[in-house]
Every structure is written in C-alpha cells, then in structure tokens.
Structure 1
C-alpha cells in the first residue's frame, strides 16, 4: 500500500453504529469537507479495484458484519443555513453529517415548522432521504426540496429533484440503483410558511390534550413526539438498537379481513389505494416475541418492533433473530415482514 494513502486501516466501527456491533473496516476515510471528494476519488486508485464502498452516517440503519472488506467513508460534513424565504416556503439546507434530530430542533428554533413529526429519529441529514424516513403521519419527502450528491463514477456533483429521488415507503433510488455510487453531501427542505399540525396519530393528540395544549405550535408537537418515542424506544447509547426493525406491511382488504376474523383487535390503517397497513409490532407481539431473548440479541420489552443488542451481538446473531420472527409472522398471519435496516 502506498505510504501516502489517506486511508486508515483496520478501524473499529463499534461506536459508529447504533446497534453497537464491534465490526472492523479494512479501509476507512473520514470525510469532513466536500473538497476532499476529488482527492478521495483519485486515492481510490491506491485500493484494489474490486473493493466495495460503504457510506456511513450515524450508523443507525445498518447491521454490520464483524469484518468489512470494504472502504468505509464516514460522512462528517457539517453546516446548516436558511437559503431562501419565499411567500409560501422557506428553503433550508443541512450538510450530510449533521445529526438529524439536532437539525430538526434547529429548524424549530428558527420558527419553522414541518419536520417536527420526524423528531428524535436517529441518524444524519444525509441518510434521511436514502430511507425516506417517516413517523407519525409524515415522511421526509413531504418537505424535501432537493439534494446534492457526488457521483463516484463521473467524478462530479449532481443535484437531484424530488422526482429523481424516486421516493417510496422507506425507500429511494439511493437504496437501489444508486447505492454506493452517489454520496449525498447536502439536503434542502422546503418548509411551509403557513404551518398546520399533523395530529392524525392518536397518541400525539392525546398527549397534547393531557398537557392542556389546544392550539399547538411546532415545538409542542416535537416535544410530545419526543416524549412518546422515549417512552417506547431504547436509547442506543444505553442499549444497542437500530430503531424500528421491520416495515409496517401493506396487505389487501381480503387478507386483512381474514386476519380480523381470528384477531378482531388487529391494528391496521387504511391507505388511499384501498389496501391496509398493519402494525408490524402488533404482529410480532402476537407471535410471543416481545421481551424474548435469543442469546446475545432480543426483542425490546416495551416495543416488539425493536431488536436490541444484549451484549456482544454480531450481525449474524441479528440476522438469525430477524429470520425467526419473519418465519413466525408468515406462518401465523400469512404476512411477509420486510427488514428496515440494511445488512452489510
């Protein structure tokens, strides 16, 4: 290896992934400035041609293998600003390495509503469009304006519009065709000047009512959602986890009716296309997995949708537990659960 190589070797990623898996990266690079990308692309010639790339943000949506025979590029770009104030929206931007929740709180501190329902979601600004993160009736795409990404194939920056990102439920083009090709450096959001709260989830409206808040402001909604999430989800700093581990499955009206006949209390939500979204956590709990342990991994005792690291868990341990849960749900409900985090 060339002694001028900018890469670190055999770097532990234990503190760089929220599940706390003690993975080791063969090659590692910390990206702190967009200007480093041109240099980085040239330096890639120092590595074996076939070595894969892995872009790492907060590591909250990844389940890592014990050893990564890859170049891990940790995105540590920082900065946030108001770009434009129009009649209907205010355009704000966040660098890809900014902590997502801190960015949301910054927008609220500027008097800008819109992202409050996405409070306390772990991860970074740059990772948020990849997953099209969502919670409590909102998705990132609802307020997305555009993003900038570096193309490692062409060696240049490119701007992506909302349509070009091909957003879907917990999905985007960056999880598919453009995975590991484009590194997102900045994301812009269009936040409404005329704000309306999204309170369709009963827990949120109930909590506001209990607090005596009848005309909530964006910060009020954020505070309530933070309280709800903290009551249900473990803090990764205390117990390793990747948040919600399975997507809420979408089923046909016929399958929903079939499930309701044997489980009248099945939790479901109607969709615009006539299908229904089921609560994955409810399905898992009905199969007896809530609070269950499987050696070094388990299902969180307060929320069946969350898998946790009980100490020394490996990626193989997590995959095995997820597979058993998927098999049980399929057998009992004829529903296939899809994993949210990416196994690497």
Structure 2
C-alpha cells in the first residue's frame, strides 16, 4: 500500500479545492483496507476514505490518514431465468460501470448514467436520478467494520435506505465499502416514471416502438450534459442541496402564496411533498450569481460551482447565504447534500 506524505487533494475532489492530506494511502487491493485502518488506529489518528471526490467539500486540510479508494473489478456472479447478479468493486467509476452493464445487455442501471463518483460511494448516498434510486437495484454489499475489525455483509434492507441516506451516514467512520452487488431483471421494462424521460420517448410509446436500455442511457446522458457542468471544466459536485420534504399542510400554504411552486409527492406512502430546491433558489435570484471565486451555475440553480482559485470556505459561505435567503422567503430549510470537511 503506497502512502504519500502531505499530498495535495486538488485532483481528488471535483470542486478542485487545493487542500492537503497528512497521509494519502492508495487502496488498490481489498487487503489494503484493514491495513489502512490498523495504521490509523495504531497512531490514534483520524481517518477518512475518498472515492471520486464528487460528493464532498474540502474546506480544510485532512489530518491523519486519507484513503483513496482505487480497488477495481466487475463481474457476473449469477444468471438465472429472472435476473443477473453483478458485482463491482468499490473503486470502479460509477458511470463506466453503468456503461459496461448496458454494453453487456443488462438493463436496470441506465437511468443512473453519468452520475459522478465511485461504485463504493453509491450506496452510502443512495444515489438516485430520473425515477430510480440505487436502493431499488442493489442486492448486497461487503464492507470492513473498523469498529470490530472484521468484514461484514449488508443486504439492501440492512442498509436502511432513505432519500439520499443510508445506515452508513449515521456512523461515517465505521464502515469502508469494498464491493457492491446489483440484481438486475432479465425481463427488463423501461423506467419512464420521470416526466422528462416520458416526454422524450412519448412518440415511441405512442407508436409502440421498442425502447432499449441503450436508448434510455443515451437520453439520460444527453439531458444531464445539457443541465450540469463537466467538473473537469467547471468545479462542482452536482446537486448541492437536498430537495426538501415538507408536510402536506405546509405545501398547501406555500402553493397558495406561490402558485408556480414546483413540487412532487414525496412517496406513495405519505402525504408529504418534495419541493424542487433548484426552483426555490432560482426564485431568490441566485441562478448565475457569482461571489468571488465561487457561484451558482447559470443553467441550474441547484448546482454550486468553483471558478478556480477559491476555497471550500468561500463555497460554504455562499451556501449559507442561499440557505438564509430561501428560509426567509419560503420558510424552508435547505440541507447540504455533499459531505463537508470544514
């Protein structure tokens, strides 16, 4: 296991903030994980593991040990009449893995195309987009329990998935995911529950033409590319705030005050509503706003961006400004989606 001392993390976070790690360990083998934890424990030093760096804000240097998850590998574990079971190692690039599944003829993950990050981080965040959440397709995962110093397995149910949440967020310095298994259906049906996708394929649906996983994959990539900036060009972490969920009564009051309020039923089992955070931010005049080296993306108010030369502290100050304005205007508290190191 290679370890660099006082290493820059600029290339390892999609905002491109130039902060340093005391010890940067490259986790390339499964056996590196317990060794990494042991080194930190022996020195009584803090530790953290980074994946693609696409869901975090680095506003300070990282003390102790920082692991870079780089374990690669993907394979077919099982194929039955009804499903396939695929395994991907935690360091696999998420979009590359989705691309591989589609190219192999496996449908089920195409709605989650072009989401930045690694496979290992996907269940922690319970990533979701275009009508699909990871919790709907994940079968199980393997992780190292740093508290008990042993390997453990989690079923999807044991992960306690919720909107952008899992059991791993309750105790972020306990488990390190090494691999994830996905159960995908053999008798695939297109998921067009998201309005924009349904609209895009309305003609094919009307004509009863066949829609393939590749078709949806390509359309999702097209839509995301039009809405979200490429982090290699403009630093960002995608959606910066959660879409807030409010009770029906609060939603009705807001709807009366703001007739054009954008919202969706939170789920089928409750009367709560999910508000579009991007719309709330846009109504407060922040779309395209710039403050020093950071700002709000001109095409999508939900995305905060780093124009270069700035710091995570600058970005968090802007986020606080947005939260305050949205709360003063709508009485709704926005919560930040990325993990903060501040």
TM-score category, normalised to shorter length: over 0.9
Residue deviations 1:242-262 (CA, integer Å, cap 9, x gap) = 000011111112211111122
Unaligned runs of 5+ in 2: none
Query: CA separation in 1, counterparts of 2:327 and 2:203?
Result: 38
Shift of 1:105: 0.8
Matched, 1:163 2:157: yes
Matched, 1:105 2:99: yes
Shift of 1:87: 2.4
Shift of 1:209: 4.2
Of 92, 111, 124 in structure 2, the residue corresponding to residue 130 of structure 1 is 124
8 Å Cα contact 1:6-1:43 kept in structure 2 = no
Query: CA separation in 2, counterparts of 1:147 and 1:245?
Result: 26
Query: CA separation in 2, counterparts of 1:233 and 1:63?
Result: 18
Give 1:118's aligned residue: 112
Query: CA separation in 1, counterparts of 2:167 and 2:90?
Result: 17
Unaligned runs of 5+ in 1: none
Give 2:59's aligned residue: 65
When normalised by structure 2's length, the TM-score is: 0.95
Query: CA separation in 1, counterparts of 2:242 and 2:251?
Result: 17
| Alpha-carbon RMSD | 1.6
Give 2:237's aligned residue: 242
Secondary structure in 2 aligned to 1:150? strand
Matched, 1:295 2:292: yes
Query: CA separation in 1, counterparts of 2:73 and 2:218?
Result: 24
Matched, 1:257 2:252: yes
Query: CA separation in 2, counterparts of 1:123 and 1:204?
Result: 23
8 Å Cα contact 1:280-1:305 kept in structure 2 = yes
Query: CA separation in 2, counterparts of 1:299 and 1:40?
Result: 37
Bigger Cα displacement from structure 2, 211-220 vs 99-108: 211-220
Secondary structure in 2 aligned to 1:34? coil
Shift of 1:71: 1.0
When normalised by structure 1's length, the TM-score is: 0.94
Query: CA separation in 1, counterparts of 2:67 and 2:204?
Result: 44
Residue deviations 1:99-123 (CA, integer Å, cap 9, x gap) = 0001001111111111111000000
Shift of 1:202: 2.0
Query: CA separation in 1, counterparts of 2:248 and 2:35?
Result: 54
8 Å Cα contact 1:233-1:303 kept in structure 2 = yes
Shift of 1:204: 1.2
Secondary structure in 2 aligned to 1:18? coil
Give 2:272's aligned residue: 275
Give 2:228's aligned residue: 233
8 Å Cα contact 1:208-1:224 kept in structure 2 = no
Secondary structure in 2 aligned to 1:74? strand
Query: CA separation in 1, counterparts of 2:34 and 2:60?
Result: 30
Secondary structure in 1 aligned to 2:201? helix
Shift of 1:211: 8.2
